[in-house]
Amino acid sequence: MSEPRYLVGLGTTPYPDNGLPARLTVVFFEKLSWANQIQPDSPYILVEIWRNGVSVGPTSTPEEILEHRPHILSKTSTGKTHYEQEPPGWFERKCAEANCSWFVPLVKRMAAGEKVPLSEIQAEYRNHNAEKELPCGLMGEVFF
């Protein structure tokens, strides 16, 4: 069974290896059935970076997403490539790129153990998106 997913942010971001724009989405799940053995009562956050029809990005609890620091391909001044870890604040930067910085304080509250109701997330979305409703769909549906 698929759970509803809520599209809280949509934007573009330069892809690390070549700088070309990629679609960026930030998605909220109240619960994920396939993850219930890990954190049965936790919401999950998905950060998707879409490039050439492929999505990369973590699906994590609020605590994990705030600490996420992926390794990215980088070039030195001499042109050599290597991987380096992103500095802290990756999730905050991705939310800014996806036009949903308003979501970060809510995720921080969730990470601290507070139950943030979906109705509050929906209200914040409306406040920051010209009274539009928070888009909702099932996995596999295209709703953006």
Q: What is the 3-state secondary structure of the chain?
A: CCCEEEEEEEEEEECCCCCCEEEEEEEEECCCHHHCCCCCCCCEEEEEEEECCEEECCEECHHHHHHCCCEEEEECCCCCEEEEECCCCHHHHHHHHCCCCCHHHHHHHHHCCCCCCHHHHHHHHHHHCCCCCCCEEECCCCCC
Position 14 in a domain: yes
Number of domain units in the chain: 1
Position 41 in a domain: yes
C-alpha 139: how far from chain center: 15
Domain hosting 127: range is 4-138
Position 143 in a domain: no
C-alpha 90: how far from chain center: 10
**pLDDT tens for each residue of 70-113:** 887 778 888 888 888 889 999 999 899 888 999 999 999 999 99
Position 57 in a domain: yes
Residue 34 pLDDT level (bands cut at 50, 70, 90)? low
pLDDT at position 83 is 86
| pTM assigned to the model | 0.81
